[in-house]
């Protein structure tokens, strides 16, 4: 298992390098220019100066290598400095965002808390709703509950978040006035009152995203359960006189969870990636909002860095999912 | 609509109500929404309106503009003019006097050295200053004493209110930005995000592209202002959500740029929680005629260059007919509602420069347009499309991708087809269209189309640099990497002479006359530029927020120190 993990980790290095090149080229060669963000009232000479100061005039390979160096050397060094108060990174140029003319990584760090709280909670809520629905739907296949569960999943699948989000805003924000429509990122939870405030402002984005997440996972859970319910070992367990509860929750559920855990693990990078539409809709202003803002603003360094961080996360969680699979299922051994 | 007018009146009444007995910080908290969130609070590093306007709560210039476009003193003790001797008689220098006793928000005194430093900061060759145009032609900033600032110009400047005037040209604190000159500008994150200023508010916390938390400046020069103790400027979402947050849920007191379609405007205005404020500046949505041949049959490097005049549009009658066929009022009703009005002027404001008599294009005249085309020799062919010498009257009409612009394209295409012109529509992503990439065939400067539509305006109140864009030597072409501003490739020596005359004229009445003549040459007389809609600003304010006056000549936050809570 250990050698397998190590081999996968080593293999990840060329994979990530290749991904970094593809991302860099895709973002860079795509049509569009940061110049389009400069108003037309700015004269051409000034425009040219601004672009020069951004460094967009350097040749492509120089910018790629510089970016790699900044990503893998300068930025970690800066992180080290920030942690231990050293000054190793002094004088080294960091990855600078075109939009804010400031380093990219602190901007990302600033966005993380709200994304992790809101999107993370939504994912957790989604999983917590989905598992019981999936289990019971499978156990009582074609029952009224199963039909409802299917309908719930269908709605979650087919209604896009920009639509459900707007409906929620109009119903709960405008008509009922229960929840704020804009998320306040400066709110600090210090006491009971601010905690309640935090819950209220999280309610709508969490509901919208939770619904979408739960829909997908509940279907996986249901089909995995159904598959296992028909297995011989279930019949054997019943024949041995075990209670339905033990059969379903111990034998069937445990075995059914194996693929579902993998699916859940593979979905975790999306928490870090944020939710572009939902974040924008409710003003959560996390990573997703940062990404779409950077794309709109032709902020290439920000887009490249964010996209590459997502790539790293996806590669990592793929590895984690594979290892988890091996740990959970004794039949699977990699060595 | 009636209710809206009444509410607008109410807000105006409050705006002029005496707030003399107000006390600093007495009115608590105010929430402002800039749906395009501020990225930095240093306007010298970003030309984005959202950044400049938010920064103007903290940073100020020597002077600014009021809602009528007049220069008003801010840090300066009065506005220098030729009459009061502040502007040299030969127009080569302007002398500003600071108000005595001014303090930065950190308690240190404001001196003329700060102004001089600001000029050095923005004109540093490696800094990429976004507002460098404000300092164009400035050869030196002298500081004879702590309160006197003398700005010297290379040549006579009829409009000396550029450097240090308005939200795009504020004064930075020299002590804070001393290590941020040139290439070091982007390493100064703390300075750029939390500048020390003289404005009514101080930055408490800055979250990039998200939230700015501000509190009242304890050292603000008027001890009774601002009335609000704290302010939050929040970003995110879109114009519609922003309008809703003020007009329907009442969570925010002010929302910037709530440009939404006319039906939604009407629906939201009925809620009674807020009012839409609109004001008109110089932004004009227009159709530009290509005076050169964009034909793909020409060699690359010759397309859309002065070498080949346009085979169809070189005829003034065709251009006039195209303009006559457009019903500008319908465009306004479909696209902008109360935030737009039809116009025939390239310079629609300020009042003294706008030609109020140029209204001929406002009435649509399909029959007249047909007649003009007949006269020009374009006769209707079998398929309804006009022909001349075996050539079809076919135009390629391009613009950026944007729902309102696509509506406009469809409407204009309909009218043009009615007069026998075949029209092909094309829309290009804004980041490409306005991207200015010399390698892309789709930029508005390259103009590989017969006509194109976009909006442009000018900074401040003086149209001189704007009108100078149509000089012969500013035509984009392969020799200047397509970086000219004369998009139409218009070239008239008489026009160039007028531009030069204006640059040397200080008398305002004469300048206004020159501007009107040039405006008429480009629009009414030649229809090189076909103005469509004068686009105003549309913002939303809560009925509980008093003192708001929408200003299109400076930032919308220009008088935030006068805002108060209506009780």
Secondary structure in 3-state letters for chain A: CHHHHHHHHHHHHHHHHHHHHHHHHHHHHCCCCHHHHCCCCCCHHHHHHHHHHHCCCCCHHHHHHHHHHHHHHHHHHHHHHHHHCCCCCCCCCCCECCCCCCEHHHHHHHHHHHHHHHHHHHHHHHHHHHHHHHHHHHHCCCCHHHHHHHHHHHHHHHCCHHHHHHHHHHHHHHHCCCCCCCCCCCCCCCCHHHHHHHHHHHHHHHHHHHHHHHHHHHHHHHHHHHHHHCCHHHHHHHHCCCCHHHHHHHHHHHHHHHHHHHHHHHHCHHHHHCCHHHHHHHCCCCHHHHHHHHHHCCCHHHHHHHHHHHHHHHHHHHHHHHHHHHHHCCCCCCC
Question: Strand runs (DSSP E) across B402-458, as ranges?
Answer: 422-428, 451-456
Angle A129-A117-B204 from CA coordinates, rounded to 5°: 155
Tokens found for residue A81: 């400095």
pLDDT at position A335: 62
Helix pair B493-503, B508-522: axis angle to 10 deg? 160
A42 neighbourhood in chain B, CB within 8 Å: 47, 130, 133
A54 touches chain B (CB under 8 A): yes
Asked if B211 lies within 8 A of A184 by C-beta distance, the reply is: yes
What does the pLDDT read at residue B80? 94
* Minimum Cα–Cα distance from A101: chain B residue: B186
pLDDT at B193: 93
**Please, what is the average pLDDT of chain B?**
90
Long-range contacts of B48-52 (CB under 8 A, 24+ apart): B48/A37, B48/A39, B49/A39, B49/B257, B49/B555, B50/B235, B50/B256, B52/B167, B52/B168, B52/B555
Are the beta carbons of A277 and A209 closer than 8 angstroms? no
Please give the pLDDT value at position A186: 84
Strand partners, B73: B63
pLDDT of residue B236: 81
Does residue A329 belong to the interface with chain B, where contact is any CB pair within 8 Å?
Answer: no
Q: Between A38, A43, A283, which is nearest B236 by CB?
A: A283
The tally of CA atoms less than 13 A away on the side-chain side of residue B269 is: 24
Place of tokens 């120190």: B561
Q: How many CB atoms lie within 10 A of CB B389?
A: 7
Position B15 pLDDT exceeds 80: no
Q: In what helix (H) or strand (E) does residue B198 lie, and over which residues does it extend?
A: none
Cβ distance A101 to B435 less than 8 Å, yes or no, reads no
The per-residue pLDDT for B241 is: 87
pLDDT at B98: 95
- Chain A, nearest residue to B49 by Cα: A39
The residue whose two tokens read 């994304």 is A115
Average pLDDT for residues B115-131, to the nearest whole number? 90
The closest of B38, B159, B129, B144 to B97, measured between CA atoms, is B144
Per the model's pLDDT, the better-predicted residue between A39 and B231 turns out to be B231
Cα A143 vs. chain centroid, distance in angstroms? 34
Decide if A49 touches B, using CB distance below 8 A. yes
**Residue B102 near residue B109, CB atoms below 8 Å:** yes
Residues of B in contact with A31 (CB under 8 A): 429, 431-432, 435, 437, 440, 442
Question: Is it the case that residue B11 has pLDDT exceeding 70?
Answer: no
Residue B54 and residue B46: Cα distance in Å, rounded?
12
The mean pLDDT value for B452-458 works out to 92
B435 with A110: Cβ contact below 8 A: no
Overall average pLDDT of the B225-234 stretch? 94
Report ipTM (2 d.p.): 0.78
Helix (H) or strand (E) holding B288: strand B274-289
Residues of chain A with pLDDT under 70: 334-335
Interaxial angle between packed helices A144-158 and A104-139, expressed in degrees from 0 to 180 and rounded to the nearest 10: 160
CA distance B162 to chain A (A): 14
φ, ψ for residue B69 (rounded to 5)? 90, 10
Flag if B40 and A100 touch (Cβ within 8 Å). Answer: yes
Cβ–Cβ of A53/B430 closer than 8 Å? no
Tokens of A26: 């895709």
The per-residue pLDDT for B1 is 42
User: Nearest residue of A to residue B241 by CA position?
Assistant: A281
Torsion, Cα A8 A11 A16 A18, to 10 degrees, reads -150
The whole-number pLDDT of residue B545 equals: 94
What pTM was estimated for this model as a whole?
0.83
pLDDT of residue B163: 92
Provide the 3-class DSSP secondary structure of residue B340.
strand
Q: Which of A38, A101, A110 sits opposite B192 (nearest CB)?
A: A101
d(CA A90, CA A82): 11
Instruction: Say if CB B451 and CB B529 are below 8 A apart.
Output: no
Residue of B nearest to A162 (CA): B237
B436 and A36: CB-CB below 8 Å?
Answer: yes
Instruction: Tell me the shortest Cα–Cα distance from A285 to chain B, in angstroms.
Output: 6
CB atoms B432 and A32 under 8 Å: yes
Q: Where are the alpha helices (DSSP H) in B108-199?
A: 112-123, 174-177, 189-193
* Chain A environment of B129 (Cβ under 8 Å): 46, 49-50
Q: How confident is the model at residue B16 (pLDDT cuts 50, 70, 90)?
A: very low
Which of A38, A106, A181 faces B251 most closely, judged by CB atoms?
A: A181
CA distances from B269 to B149, B546, B566 (A): 47, 17, 19
* pLDDT score recorded for residue B22: 63
Distances (CA, A) of B502 to B355, B374, B466, B495, B498: 16, 39, 12, 11, 6
Residue B396, strand partner residues: B424
Task: Give all strands (DSSP E) within B416-471, no chain letters.
Answer: 422-428, 451-456
- H helix or E strand, kind and range, residue B252: none
Q: Which residues 96-115 of A are in CB contact (within 8 Å) with B?
A: 96-97, 99-103, 106-107, 110-111
Residue B12 reports pLDDT greater than 50: no
Q: 3-state DSSP call for residue B86?
A: coil
B410 sits in the region (left: phi over 0; alpha: psi -120 to 50; else beta) called alpha
Q: Which residues of B touch A173 (CB under 8 A)?
A: 249
- By the CB < 8 Å criterion, does A55 face chain B? no
For chain B, say whether A267 makes contact (Cβ under 8 Å): no
Q: B417 versus A82: which is more confidently predicted? A: B417
Q: CB B437 to CB A173 under 8 A?
A: no
Contact at CB, B186 and A101, closer than 8 angstroms: yes
- CA-nearest residue to B125 within chain A is A49
Residues 6 or more apart whose Cβ sits within 8 Å of residue B359: B344
Give residue B4's pLDDT band: very low, low, confident or very high (50, 70, 90): low
Cβ of B458 within 8 Å of Cβ of A177? The answer is no
Nearest to A36 among B210, B238, B431 (CB): B431
- β-bridge pairing B394-400 and B422-428: parallel
CA gap B182, B45 in Å, rounded = 11
């Amino acid at each position: 298992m250990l050698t397998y993990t190590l081999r996968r980790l080593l293999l990840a290095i060329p994979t990530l390098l290749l991904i970094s090149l593809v991302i860099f080229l895709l973002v860079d060669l795509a049509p569009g220019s940061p110049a389009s963000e400069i108003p037309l009232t700015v004269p051409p000479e000034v425009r040219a100066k601004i672009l020069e100061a951004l460094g967009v005039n350097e040749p492509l390979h120089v910018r790629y290598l510089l970016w790699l160096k900044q990503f893998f050397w300068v930025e970690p060094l800066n992180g080290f400095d920030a942690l231990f108060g050293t000054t190793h990174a002094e004088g080294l140029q960091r990855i600078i965002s075109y939009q804010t003319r400031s380093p990219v990584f602190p901007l990302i760090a600033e966005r993380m808390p709200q994304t992790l709280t809101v999107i993370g909670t939504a994912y957790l809520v989604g999983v917590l709703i989905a598992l019981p629905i999936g289990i019971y739907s499978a156990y009582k296949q074609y029952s009224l509950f199963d039909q409802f569960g299917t309908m719930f999943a269908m709605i979650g699948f087919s209604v896009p978040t920009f639509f459900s989000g707007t409906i929620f805003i109009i119903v709960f924000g405008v008509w009922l006035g229960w929840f704020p429509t804009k998320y306040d990122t400066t709110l600090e939870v210090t006491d009971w009152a601010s905690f309640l405030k935090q819950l209220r402002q999280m309610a709508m984005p969490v509901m919208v995203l939770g619904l979408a997440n739960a829909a997908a996972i509940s279907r996986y859970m249901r089909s995995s359960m159904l598959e296992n319910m028909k297995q011989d070992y279930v019949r054997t367990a019943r024949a041995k006189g075990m209670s339905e509860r033990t059969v379903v929750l111990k034998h069937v559920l445990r075995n059914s969870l194996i693929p579902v855990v993998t699916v859940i693990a593979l979905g975790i990078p999306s928490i870090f990636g944020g939710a572009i539409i939902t974040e924008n809709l409710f003003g959560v202003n996390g990573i997703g909002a940062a990404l779409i803002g950077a794309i709109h603003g032709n902020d290439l360094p920000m887009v490249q860095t964010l996209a590459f961080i997502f790539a790293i996360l996806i590669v990592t969680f793929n590895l984690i999912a594979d290892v988890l699979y091996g740990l959970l299922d004794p039949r699977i051994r990699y060595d | 609509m009636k209710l809206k007018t009444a509410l607008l009146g109410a807000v105006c009444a409050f705006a002029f109500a005496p707030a003399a007995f107000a006390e600093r910080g007495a009115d608590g908290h105010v929430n402002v929404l800039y749906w395009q969130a501020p990225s930095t609070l240093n306007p010298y590093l970003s030309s984005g309106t959202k950044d400049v306007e938010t920064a103007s709560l903290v940073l100020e210039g020597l002077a600014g503009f009021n809602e009528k476009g007049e220069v008003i003193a801010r840090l300066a003790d009065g506005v220098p003019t030729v009459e009061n001797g502040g502007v040299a008689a030969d127009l080569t220098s302007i002398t500003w006097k600071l108000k005595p006793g001014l303090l930065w928000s950190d308690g240190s005194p404001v001196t003329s050295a700060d102004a001089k430093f600001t000029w050095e900061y923005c004109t540093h060759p490696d800094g990429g200053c976004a507002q460098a145009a404000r300092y164009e032609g400035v050869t030196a900033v002298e500081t004879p004493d702590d309160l006197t600032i003398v700005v010297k110009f290379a040549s006579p400047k009829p409009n000396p209110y550029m450097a240090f005037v308005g939200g795009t040209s504020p004064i930075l604190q020299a002590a804070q930005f001393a290590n941020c000159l040139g290439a070091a500008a982007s390493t100064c994150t703390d300075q750029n995000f939390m500048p020390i200023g003289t404005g009514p508010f101080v930055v408490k916390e800055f979250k990039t592209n998200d939230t700015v938390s501000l509190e009242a400046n304890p050292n603000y020069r008027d001890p009774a202002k601002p009335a609000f103790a704290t302010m939050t400027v929040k970003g995110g979402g879109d114009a519609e959500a922003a309008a809703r947050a003020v007009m329907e849920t009442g969570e925010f007191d002010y929302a910037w740029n709530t440009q939404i379609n006319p039906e939604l405007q009407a629906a939201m205005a009925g809620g009674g929680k807020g009012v839409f404020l609109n004001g008109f500046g110089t932004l004009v949505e227009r159709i530009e005629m290509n005076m050169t041949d964009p034909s793909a049959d020409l060699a690359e490097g010759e397309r859309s260059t002065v070498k080949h005049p346009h085979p169809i549009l070189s005829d003034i009658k065709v251009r006039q007919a195209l303009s006559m066929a457009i019903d500008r009022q319908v465009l306004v009703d479909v696209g902008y509602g109360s935030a737009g009005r039809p116009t025939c002027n390239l310079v629609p404001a300020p009042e003294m420069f706008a030609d109020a008599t140029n209204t001929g294009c406002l009435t649509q005249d399909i029959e007249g347009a047909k007649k003009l085309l007949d006269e020009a020799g374009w006769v209707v062919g079998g398929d309804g499309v006009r022909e001349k010498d075996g050539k079809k009257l076919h135009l390629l009409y391009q613009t950026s991708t944007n729902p309102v612009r696509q509506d406009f394209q469809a409407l204009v295409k309909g009218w043009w087809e009615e007069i026998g012109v075949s029209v092909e529509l094309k829309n290009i992503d804004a980041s490409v269209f306005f991207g200015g990439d010399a390698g892309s065939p789709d930029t508005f400067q390259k103009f590989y189309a017969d006509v194109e539509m976009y909006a442009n305006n000018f900074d401040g109140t003086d149209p001189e640099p704007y009108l100078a864009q149509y000089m012969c030597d500013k035509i984009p072409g392969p020799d200047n990497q397509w970086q000219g501003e004369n998009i139409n490739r218009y070239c008239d020596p008489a026009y160039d002479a007028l531009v030069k005359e204006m640059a040397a004229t200080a008398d305002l009445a004469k300048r206004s006359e020159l501007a009107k003549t040039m405006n008429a040459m480009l629009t009414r007389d030649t229809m090189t530029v076909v103005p469509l809609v004068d686009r105003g600003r549309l913002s939303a304010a809560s009925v509980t927020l008093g003192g708001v006056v929408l200003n299109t000549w400076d930032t919308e936050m220009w008088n935030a120190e006068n805002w108060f809570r209506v009780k």
